Chain A
Amino acid sequence: MSDSTKIILKVFFTLCVLIMAVDPFVPKEHIHFVWEKWPGFYGTYGFFSCVILVFIAKYGLRPVVMREEESEE
């Protein structure tokens, strides 16, 4: 992993921590559901939905639908 990649990753992880720290202090005025008030709801939902998405796609869908690539003619 190159140095620039490491720096980008550090900045990115810091942002993730920062936004979670800020979350409880932002007034939730334009919400539709009660769970939108919970601190960190969107982060948690986004994280786990992506993990579930990848796992279903990788272990559920890929074994069923993946085939050899068609040869170019």
Chain B
Amino acid sequence: MSQLHPAIFLLIGAALSLLPKGLPRHLAVVGSPLLALVASLQMGEGTLNFQIGGFLELNLYNLTIWNRPFVIAFCMVSLLGMIFARPLDRREEDCAALLYAAAAVGAVLAGDLFSFYCCWEFLALSATVLVFGGRNAKSRRAGFRYLIYHIAGGLVLLFGILWRLSAGYSNEISEVGLDSPGGWMIFLGIGINCAWPLLHTWLTDAYPESSVSGVLFLSAFTTKTAIYALLVFFPGTKELVVIGTMMAAFPIFYAVIENDLRRVLAYSLINQVGFMVVGVGIGTDLALNGAVCHAMTDLVFKGLLFMTVGACLYRTGYATATDLGGLFKMMPVSAVCCIVGAASISAFPGFSGFVSKSMITSAAGGGEHPYTFVWLILIFASAGVFHHAGIKIPFFAFFGHDSGHKVKEVPWTMQFAMIASAVICVVYGCFPEQTVYRLLPLANDYAPYTADHILAQTELLLYSALAFTLMLLAGVYPAEIRSKNLDFDHLLAGFLAWIGRGLDTGLNGLNRFGDVAFLQWIPGKVSNFFGHAPARISAWLARFWLGMRGVDPEEINRSEERYFERFKKNALPVGTSAIYAMILLGILAMLA
């Protein structure tokens, strides 16, 4: 047992990833997550404190039952992702990916809110570099949108943390709850990273634009760190059950009609995270264990699915259903690994999803107050996820119509990463007691392999496959169409554009009014007045004087005009000038 922070290895790896291209660099970036994984398996109790300026104490290492499984799983997927990324050989991306992994490990190991927040922000920054990995205008724009979302989310979180601290709560990582505005803001800040409904669009917008390997890291860290945060800050918060159920249900509709297979996987990522959120919300031992367990299995099988679609993208240049198909004969390893990933996410008996997802559905259905409706939706989502991720991904990528690509299987490093992930999925699925269940935070007596559970799950999946097959044969299944499907961000963009136009009209209107009023009208009037001030003043005085004497108004107007004309031409009689001079002197004499 040691108190070595695994993120140290990842940070060293990030520094070494900037070495010149070549074998030493490859070894360094693969070796560093490997060492981090070894360190994470050796982690022992203890703390690592820093004093900053004598008043702020940062606790960067605080091992608990909750963060241990996350740290180990994070180190493992960074190792797999780094191996997969070798053929791309991009220095900036390797560096960003390792920093990103270090931030994720740092966030879950943090022992105080400030350290947690700093790592949280670093997640957003390093992930943005990965989104830019698509290296085109689309990914650049998506990257900036990603950054804006997460900086905003981070600020909401920071605001919540500061609110709580100023209200006298401790700086420790502990249950927050929704009893204060600060708690709500922390809740919302985490919710943005967790891709809650309506806050989710950054995910499906950005992830599919990143590089073949960048998406592996993206799909792993941000949402799972958010799940960890919900586990420690908001366990058993009932609002999460509603939010998670919505997350599990709505993305599958989008996934069915989406053409970009990586975007299909992004929607199914939200769907899987939804299961975890429901688990956290239910808050029983079984549910919380289920959320942690599902996070661990999801990290591997979702990575595996992104790898196999990435393999197609790497070889053919396409990740869209319309441009792929029939690659099975050319890329058999990728195809088989894809099927294993699909079986795992669909929770087929013998694969990893089966042992984790069912913990959450059982927790929803069991207990004294079963969540009947939630349970029905989760079962619906289980069938749906098989439909769109389990069948659609392998079918449209590797089977279906022949796309005519003549390609080779991917390089051996990519194959190695895929095979290793696939093996992990099967090992998790077949031997949960010896693997994932050992890392669970709470005592666990859940037995996934009972006759009725195996039968129920197999029947559910076989008949949703039957529905897919029959609809495909009957031509009912929605054809793949090159298209873009609008999501909530379209409405949001419209709303922001509306606000923008409102501000444009309002503020620029004010600006124009100010310009007309204060720069044109008033100065014009003033300068006009003072240009002939003596004439005007005397004309007014004369008018007042004549009016008092009862002179005809017509006559007054005429004589005023005459007088004014003469004044302007400096053609006043000498006598009038003399009177003015006298008045002026008199005033001066009185003032003196």
Contacts and interface: CB of A to CB of B under 8 A. Distances in A.
Interface of A: 9, 12-13, 15-16, 19-20, 22-23, 26-33, 36, 40, 42-51, 53-54, 56-58, 60-62, 64-70, 72-73
Summarize A's interface: helix, strand, loop or mixed. Answer: helix
Given A15-B462, A33-B372, A49-B464, A62 B455 contact: no
A39 to B, nearest CB: 10
A53 B138 contact: no
Nearest to B255: A57
**Nearest 9 interchain pairs by C-beta:** A32-B365, A50-B467, A43-B463, A73-B137, A57-B256, A46-B460, A46-B463, A47-B463, A46-B464
Interface residues of B, number: 50
Given A12-B465, A51-B471, A57-B253, A70 B452 contact: no
Nearest to A61: B253
Given A16-B466, A53-B256, 9 more contacts: A16-B463, A23-B455, A26-B451, A26-B455, A30-B362, A43-B460, A46-B383, A57-B478, A65-B257
A45 B460 contact: yes
Interface in B463-479: 463-469, 471, 476-478
Given A32-B366, A42-B463, A49-B383, A66 B256 contact: no
B438 interface: no
B370 A33 contact: yes
8 contacts: A9-B469, A50-B384, A54-B478, A57-B257, A65-B486, A67-B483, A68-B484, A69-B483
Given A61-B254, A62-B478, A16 B462 contact: yes
B41 interface: no
B458 interface: yes
B63 interface: no
B456 interface: yes
A30 B446 CA distance: 11
B453 interface: yes
Contacts of A68: 483-484
Nearest to A22: B455
Contacts of B456: 36, 42
B216 to A, nearest CB: 23
B463 A65 contact: no
B464 A67 contact: no
B478 A47 contact: no
Contacts of B465: 12
